[in-house]
Structure 1
Amino acid sequence: MSHYPHMLAPLDLGFTTLKNRVLMGSMHTGLEETKDWNRVAEFYAERARGEVGLMVTGGIGPNLEGSVLPGASMMVTQEDIDNHAVITRRVHEAGGKICMQILHAGRYAYGPKCVAPSPIKSPISPFPPAELDEDGIEKQIADIVACAERAREAGYDGVEIMGSEGYFLNQFLVTHTNKRTDRWGGAYENRMRLPIEVVRRTREAVGEDFIIIYRLSMIDLIPNGSTYDEVVQLAQEIEKAGATIINTGIGWHEARIPTIATSVPRAAFAWVTKKLMGKVGIPVITSNRINTPEVAEEVLADGCADMVSLARPMLADADFVAKAMAGKSDRIAPCIACNQACLDHTFGGKISSCLVNPRACHETELRIEPVGTARAIAVVGAGPAGLSAAITAAQRGHRVTIFDRAQEIGGQLNLAKQVAGKEEFWGFVDWYRSMIADLDIEVKLNTEVSANDLDDYDEVIIATGVVPRDPQIPGQNRDNVVSYVNILDGTATAGRRVAVIGAGGIGFDVSEHLVHDGDSTTLNLPEWMREWGVADPAEHRSGLAPEGPQPHAPAREVTMLQRKTSKVGKGLGKTTGWIHRASL
């Protein structure tokens, strides 16, 4: 009997059946842009071997003007078809199914040739788009349809048409970006004409036995976005036009409400998808912050959706579904939604990876293979670096012992997990604990290591971490001055007025910790929605509360100080720094 009967149940699409209800959602990894198609294929094949029901590639441009940035991967030539066939063959050999996402970025395209329904520049791109005329719109439709035909020729099982997150098709839907007065603008029937026409013509071109996923924005979270009734109307028309599945999109990229960061509650937007259930006759997928089999099962059992989309959890652990099937969910490396090596890398022009799993997107380079001769290895330090080294060495067949002078494993993760909004770090430490037990790694805690303790080992890995820098400020030895370590580990208590010296990541974490009393809003969805101004789209257009964000009263008065003259928090994560600054 499966522990996850809803998640692991097959889904019959009529002409094909998915082995379970888990979709690996689309992610921009930068892999396609490497042109190393063996590397790209292995990334997807490893997830196929991990038993995921269906995968969607990163966004592939249908033409130059729609590509997310110059040099981004497109599907426009026979060479493109041949390259992508390497991916689909490898995935099918591994027993998987895969769809290609067709992504037209519209005004979000990071290039001077971008196009849009109206010439309104995006706040997240430096280039003002050109307004399309009738012929220009027709060209975009034809290019998207041709892209889908090429995807089929390349062996894909289907396509996902990106119609959410503020990209091209989404831009036509709302008056925020569509100021047209012709048949593509004005009344909603005109504004939704483009996505319907794209799906209808795509279905005509690819035939009936080909998956078409439409990515529908369920809640825009921007001014002048769609109403709930408009979302339902569009979903029903998209079904009539020939879509196989509707996938949930949450928020535009320019929205000032976090949607996938670690401080967002788990499954925070599943209730939005649930509102569409029963309104259409095709399967509906929900997404965002679903990162464990338990959360996925609960969402499906509660009738929020027919499938769940997990994107970054598949970076953290390619074997997510296989481990759940085997009853080993405690050994699934957890996605902590940090954004550090995935989204931050993507927006920094780097290949994506994963803080939890450095092999993500580097499967052909970082190969963990059995050793010919097992050695005795000592790892000094039970923080994340030491624990990761120990696990990898043990997986290769070495005999490993970990030493640490602390009384528990985890190092500074045990400080991070005390910060409101970083509750996922508790599970990260638990995962390390499970893996150590599973691999029979010996752990010696409360142990101050000397050279003599290491005589019997063939190799020693030093992973003792860092110590805080001494700022050497006159008066720092007074009783009212404490280390951040003592604040976060609970050995010191702060008063009502606190000065935090340092405005980097730790300074922000400590400040966040100090302004909270009681439960974190990350653990209380209604409170989190109130804090960020999220409302029911059936009551308020676009899901924006009319009163705006309503943050809780701070528990203390905190002043952050830094020596630099740059903006406070400038060095924070590219995709999460704004959240921390806005919160404080």
Structure 2
Amino acid sequence: MQFSSAKIRNLELKNRWIMLVMHTGFAEGDALTEREYAFYEERAKGGAAAVTMVLGVNDAGALKKMYHADTLDGNSLKTLAERLHVYDCKLIVQLFHCGRNESRKNHGDKPLLAPSPVASPIFREEPQEMTEEDLLQTKADFAKAAAFCKENGVDAVEISASAGYLLSEFLSPITNLRTDKYGMGEDKGMTYPLEVLQAVRESVGDYPILMKVSGAQMLDGGYELTDTIVFCRKAEQEGFIDAITVTGGWHESPVEQISFYVSKGAYAPLAGAIKKYTSVPVIACNRIQDAETAERVLSKGLCDFVGSARAFLADAHYVEKLQKKEMFNHCQACNHCIMDVLKGKELHCAFCPEAGHEYMENQRRKIATRKEVLVIGGGPAGMYAAKKSAERGFLTTLVCKEDHLGGQLNLAKLPPRKEEIGTFVSYLEHTLKELGVNIILRKEVDVDFVMEKKPYFTVLAMGSEPIIPNLEGLETTTYQLAQNVLRMDDETLKKYGEGQIVIVGGSSLGLELAEFLMNKLPEAKIKILEANSRMGAELGAMARPLLNGLKKAGVQTMCDTRVTSFDGKKVMISIGNQPFFVTADHLILACGSKSVSSSEIAMALMDERLSYAVVGDADHVADVDEGLKSVFELFSRFYLA
């Protein structure tokens, strides 16, 4: 069903897959650039029936580095539509107003406008309450922007009324405290959004208009699904809309929206409920990122189309590969993309550094050469380096000391909900074989091996190894490394079900190990000791659901707790310079990792004046995002041809 055609009003789409809107932050000047053309065009080539780009309706409504309708060159929009149409892909433009949802730093001198002066819990900036003049002007700007899109070849517009942005703020009793006709009266704040929709319809006439809504606000005291259904029914009955895109809650909702904490297709029932009470096509979204989930929600009648943004970010040819049943690069739902966008940074994918740089990749020709690139290390940075090298046309050899590829990702996939990380390893391994990379496993590379090959270029990607702290008493204390515990089978793990477990280290490794143990041994008693003031600081917003789950499971977390020494089962600690101890029947060290030294091989290469680079954890320990990015930047600099 997902590959059959269907219509929105009079617009025929070749399949049921719509690339949803993503704010890229790529805007430069007042016209789309080759960077944006190439980004969207690659997704059109990759099988999307339609792609959605965002456009601020005016300057005040646009986020940092977002185009807005007041100044965007219409010819550049027309060019984008024409380039997409070559691949039978339609262009949808989402008409957007951020409302209160941007930081003052990124919004600059522009006013943050909202129904009422209620600050966002994310950005903590009190907005200005919209005056009658603001309301009239903004409504006119929505209508003007819609007409602008129609005049410049856009196939449909989508009105943003979701996620906590301006129009959705009128629907919420939390953010709409007005006492005039646009307040929470009998129509529950729907008056102004409906007036905006009416103005848009009057400006474009017989033309497809989509509306994007949150199925529910998912905040205490906020609007509920029944309210959204009423709103959608009114908009449809008035003839204002031709399709409805249904997402989950707001960005500030404590309920996870798009991360791996959300099961696949979990919010499709919200779309299903709206579809039941309306007659226009409904697009379901949030965690619909594979063929099985798409087919399930479509065949159940929960929606007419499926929408995804990040699946297309991770693999531009996602739909084409689904249809051909080929391996693709899965979205890992890690939220790196959305966290950076909310900070005003450019859109990127942690597992696909090429995303947003297609215009650069398109300028590179494959080099006809017999020169060899040697990559030492079979972790994610090494595998990705081998991929980029082979794509550039070099004879590429990848050497890995283990009997399998993947490095640290083989551990990262073991905690609950992280198993899809294994698909990234499988995807890279499949790609390397297709590119003809020579893969050598179970080989410890030494200087002699490298000097015998004398490669044109060597990539040192030996990864990292666990840190073992130099603390008094540790040498006579029984302990395990977190990495080794993650590898244990269920039978070996049983002993951890009795007695007190103490994990030293509250970074992502320690927290995810605790979750792993609680999943295997629900009755386990676990304390986590962390020297810093925050657990999982490097996880950002993703720490919240993890810590909430551990708290619910009874795991005790102790911040600002420095381990000073060990004495048998006693772990000596310091809290505020006061000495204490905790008892550990099972001591596990999760103290992070350090780079594996590559200096011996590097020195030998320098002596022979052979070029090399150190990447990933071998350079400095970081997450997979930073590691892959370092490789992409290396090959962008080195092999620009």
Other-structure match for 1:579? 545
CA offset at residue 193 of structure 1?
1.6
Partner of 2:306: 308
Does the 8 Å CA contact 1:99/1:211 hold for their aligned counterparts?
A: no
CA distance in 1 between partners of 2:70 and 2:168 (Å): 23
1:374–1:282: structure 2 CA closer, same or farther, 3 Å change rule? Answer: farther
Pick the structure with more strand per residue.
2
Q: Name the CA distance, whole Å, in 1 between partners of 2:215 and 2:318.
A: 26
Percent of aligned pairs with the same residue? 31
**Does structure 1 retain, via aligned residues, the 8 Å contact 2:341–2:347?**
yes
Residue 182, structure 1, aligned to residue 180, structure 2: yes
From 213, 220, 243, the counterpart of 2:210:
213
Q: Which has the higher contact order (CA 8 A, sep 6+)?
A: 1
Tell me if 1:229 matches 2:226. Answer: yes
Map of 1:294 onto structure 2? 292
Paired with 1:303 and 1:433, the residues of 2 have a C-alpha distance of 37
SS of aligned partner of 2:358: coil
1:508 paired with 2:511, answer yes
Q: Is the 8 A contact 1:402 1:442 kept in 2?
A: yes
Please list the CA deviations of residues 82-131 of structure 1 after superposition, one character each: whole Å capped at 9, or x if unmatched.
44344333323444211111111222243462122222222122321222
Q: 1:448 to 1:228 in 2, by over 3 A?
A: same
Q: Is the 8 A contact 2:377 2:399 kept in 1?
A: yes
Q: Is the 8 Å Cα contact of residues 183 and 190 (structure 1) preserved in structure 2?
A: no
Q: In structure 2, what residue type is equivalent to 1:103?
A: F
> Is the deviation greater in 119-128 or in 495-504?
495-504
8 A Cα contact 1:116 1:171, kept in partner: yes
Aligned equivalent of 1:396: 392
- SS for the counterpart of 1:443 is strand
Other structure's SS at 2:187 match: helix
Report the equivalent of 1:549: none
Q: Give the whole-Å Cα distance in 2 for the aligned partners of 1:238 and 1:567.
A: 46
For the pair 1:97 / 2:90, whether they are aligned, the reply is: yes
Cα-to-partner distance string for 1:141-197 (whole Å, 9 max, x where unaligned) = 111111111222332212111111111111111212222232222334251122222
Contact map agreement 1:261 1:337 (CA 8 A) in 2: yes
- Pairing 1:326-405 to 2, within 5 Å after superposition: 326-328=324-326, 330=327, 332-340=328-336, 342-367=337-362, 369-405=365-401
Corresponding residue SS for 2:160: strand
Secondary structure of the equivalent of 1:335? coil
Which TM-score applies when normalising by structure 1? 0.86
Q: 8 Å contact 1:99–1:160 — kept in the other structure?
A: yes
Does the CA contact (< 8 Å) of 1:65 and 1:109 recur in 2? no
Give the CA deviation at 1:267.
1.3
Kindly indicate whether the alpha-carbon contact (under 8 Å) linking 2:59 and 2:70 is maintained by their aligned counterparts in 1: no
When residues 500 and 136 of structure 1 are mapped into structure 2, their CA distance, relative to the original with a 3 A threshold, is: same
Amino acid at match of 2:38: E
Paired position in structure 2 for 1:74:
68
Rg larger in structure: 2
Q: Is the 8 A contact 1:37 1:86 kept in 2?
A: no
Q: Secondary structure at the match of 1:121?
A: coil
The more displaced of 179-188 and 254-263 is 179-188
Distance 1:101 1:555, change over 3 A: farther
Change (3 A) 1:425 1:270: same
Query: For each residue in 1:487-511, what CA deviation from the matched residue of structure 2 results, as whole angstroms up to 9, or x when unmatched?
Result: 1111774454222222222222223
CA deviation map 1:435-487 (0-9, x unaligned): 23333433322222234444345443221111122321223334531111101
Change (3 A) 1:172 1:219: same
The one-letter code sitting in structure 2 at the alignment partner of 1:224 is G
Which residue number in structure 1 is paired with residue 278 of structure 2?
280
Query: Which aligned pairs between 1:514-553 and structure 2 lie closer than 5 A?
Result: 514-517=517-520
Aligned partner letter, 1:578: R
Q: Deviations over 1:543-573 (max 9, x none)?
A: xxxxxxxxxxx54332222333x33333323
Q: CA separation in 1, counterparts of 2:295 and 2:393?
A: 34
Q: Which moved more, 1:18-27 or 1:36-45?
A: 36-45
Q: Is the 8 A contact 1:29 1:352 kept in 2?
A: yes
Q: Give 1:1-16 correspondences, 5 Å limit.
A: 6-16=1-11
Letter in 1 for 2:100: R
1:131 alignment partner AA: E
Q: How big is the alpha-carbon RMSD for the aligned residues of Structure 1 and Structure 2? A: 2.3
Q: Which runs of 5+ in 2 are unaligned?
A: 105-109, 551-641
Q: Deviations over 1:179-234 (max 9, x none)?
A: 223222233425112222222221121121x3211001112111222233322221
* Aligned 8 A contact 1:213 1:243 in 2: yes
The answer (yes or no) to whether the contact 2:505–2:529 under 8 Å persists in 1 is: yes
Give 1:67-216 correspondences, 5 Å limit. 67-69=62-64, 72-77=66-71, 79-111=72-104, 113-189=111-187, 191-208=189-206, 210-216=207-213
8 Å contact from structure 2 (residues 112, 128) kept in 1: yes
**1:62 aligned partner:** 57
Secondary structure of the structure 2 residue equivalent to 1:298: helix
Distance 1:365 1:577 in 2: 34
- Which of residues 495, 512, 524 in structure 2 aligns to 1:556? 524
User: Which residue type is aligned with residue 194 of structure 2?
Assistant: I
Q: Could you say what secondary structure the match of 2:85 adopts? A: helix
Structure 1 stretches of 4+ moved >6 Å: none
Conserved in 2, the CA contact under 8 Å of 1:23 and 1:310?
yes
* Aligned residue identity for 2:263: P
- For the residue of structure 1 that corresponds to 2:298, the secondary structure is helix
Give the drift of 1:349. 2.9
Letter in 2 for 1:88: A
- Counterpart of 2:538 in 1: which secondary structure? coil
1:260, CA displacement in angstroms? 0.8
Q: 1:478 to 1:101 in 2, by over 3 A?
A: farther
Q: Name the counterpart of 2:563.
A: none
TM (norm. structure 2) is: 0.79
8 A contact 2:156–2:208 mirrored in 1? yes
- Structure 1 residue 414 displacement after superposition: 0.7
Residue 419 of structure 2 corresponds to residue 430 of structure 1: no
* 2:416 paired with 1:450: no
